[in-house]
């Protein structure tokens, strides 16, 4: 059952004296519970595609349907609600450096109006899930890259998203730490049924945890299917 349907999506960036066709008509279904890899070279259009899934980027043409809602038909208020259900993590973690680990995890809950006490309680539970309870009072600058990404994952889970978008989330990490973070993502997928979309330029990441994969090449969908299907094709 598709949780995300991408239909004929194009995106053209118009510059002063040039235009870039970042996406040239992409159609793709992502099913509930998938760990879906989006792989391709730098500049292929992966980030643009994934940013279209939460309408941080609006497609030039085509439609994006999330949980049966065509995003182009929604009001800003409705879009904000959909976005609460779509969390994101990044290559550089994007933590708030002036706030403690606990307060970083509380932040998205504060935004949607969760009471301080309740937010802190849930944040501690989330830190336990990602294995960082003892770092609750530390600051991001005191953490390793892998620990920072764990905090970012805890923060991403704060408002119980249905979908987690990961944009090169392991690209700044060493191979051992990468494996640990991928294992955590896999556990989260299994335990909470969260659909995960992973953008990466690394084949190994896809082969490690993805159920499905789409290969994006110069704004076009080159291949897609289960990992077995795509990688066993001649
Ligand atoms: P990837 O994530 O695969 O590296 P991107 O989606 O970031 O690729 O970029 C795809 C293409 O779109 C690139 O040519 C990039 O330069 C261009 N692009 C991305 N964002 C913008 C933007 N905001 N304005 C203009 N061009 C952009
Ligand atoms: P890029 O150069 O790839 O676009 P940046 O280095 O500019 O990425 O980082 C993007 C965001 O992440 C910025 O808001 C920055 O403050 C934050 N950031 C960068 N490095 C770290 C880090 N080590 N820990 C926490 N946040 C970081």
Residue among 94, 99, 155 to mutate when testing ligand 2 (max atoms within 8 A of CB):
94
Q: Give the Cβ contact number of residue 76 at 10 Å.
A: 8
Residue 106: the pLDDT is 98
Residue 232: the pLDDT is 83
Q: What is the mean pLDDT of the chain?
A: 96
Model confidence, pTM? 0.88
Q: Is residue 40 pLDDT above 90, yes or no?
A: yes
Instruction: Indicate whether residue 39 lines ligand 1 (CB < 6 A).
Output: no
Across the range 21-47, mean pLDDT stands at 97
213 - beta bridge partners? 37, 225
Rounded to the nearest angstrom, the distance between the alpha carbon of 72 and the centre of ligand 2 is 30
Give the CA dihedral 213, 217, 218, 221, nearest 10 degrees. Answer: -60
For the segment 184-229, what is each residue's pLDDT rounded down to a tens digit? 999 999 999 999 999 999 999 999 999 999 999 999 999 999 999 9
Residue 88 half-sphere exposure, CB side, CA atoms within 13 Å? 18
Rounded to the nearest angstrom, the distance between the alpha carbon of 91 and the centre of ligand 2 is 8
Question: How many angstroms separate the CA atoms of 66 and 50, rounded?
Answer: 12
At 229, give phi and psi (nearest 5°): -60, -50
Q: Which ligand is nearest to the CA of 152?
A: 2
Phi-psi region of 113 (alpha: psi -120 to 50; beta: other; left: phi over 0): left
Question: What percent of the chain has pLDDT above 70?
Answer: 100
Packing angle, helices 101-111 and 145-157, rounded to 10: 30
Contact 170, 205 (CB under 8 A): yes
Question: How many angstroms separate the CA atoms of 48 and 59, rounded?
Answer: 9
Atom 25 of ligand 1: nearest residue by CA position: 13
Is this complex scored with an ipTM above 0.85? no
For the chain, where are the alpha helices, taking DSSP H only? 46-53, 76-84, 101-111, 116-129, 145-157, 175-192, 203-209, 227-232
For the segment 60-103, what is each residue's pLDDT rounded down to a tens digit? 999 999 999 999 999 999 999 999 999 999 999 999 999 999 99
Helix (H/G/I), strand (E/B), else coil: 131: coil
Residue 233: the pLDDT is 73
Q: Which ligand is nearest to the CA of 60?
A: 1
Residue 105: the pLDDT is 98
Across the range 136-164, mean pLDDT stands at 98
Across the range 96-125, mean pLDDT stands at 97
Residue 165, burial from CB neighbour count under 10 angstroms (0-12, 13-18, 19+):
buried
Question: How many angstroms separate the CA atoms of 72 and 94, rounded?
Answer: 28
Rounded to the nearest angstrom, the distance between the alpha carbon of 147 and the centre of ligand 2 is 15
Atom 12 of ligand 1: nearest residue by CA position: 22
């Amino acid at each position: 059952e598709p949780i995300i349907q991408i239909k004929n999506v194009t995106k053209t960036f118009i510059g002063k004296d040039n235009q870039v066709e970042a996406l040239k008509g992409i159609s793709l279904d992502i099913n509930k519970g998938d760990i879906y890899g989006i792989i391709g070279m730098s500049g292929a259009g992966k980030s643009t595609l994934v940013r279209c899934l939460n309408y941080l980027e609006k497609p030039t043409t085509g439609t994006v349907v999330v949980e049966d809602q065509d995003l182009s038909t929604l009001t800003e208020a409705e879009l904000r609600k959909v976005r609460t259900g779509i969390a994101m993590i990044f290559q550089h973690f994007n933590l708030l450096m002036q706030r403690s680990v606990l307060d970083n995890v509380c932040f998205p809950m504060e935004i949607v109006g969760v009471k301080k006490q309740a937010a802190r309680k849930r944040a501690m539970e989330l830190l336990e899930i990602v294995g960082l309870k003892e770092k609750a009072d530390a600051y991001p600058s005191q953490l390793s890259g892998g620990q920072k990404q764990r905090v970012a994952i805890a923060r991403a889970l704060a408002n119980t998203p249905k979908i987690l978008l990961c944009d090169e989330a392991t690209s700044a990490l060493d191979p051992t730490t990468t494996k640990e973070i991928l294992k955590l993502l896999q556990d989260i997928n299994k335990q909470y049924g969260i659909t995960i979309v992973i953008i990466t330029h690394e084949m190994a990441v896809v082969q490690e945890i993805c159920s499905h994969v789409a290969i994006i090449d110069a704004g076009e969908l080159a291949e897609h299917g289960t990992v077995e299907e795509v990688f066993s094709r001649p």
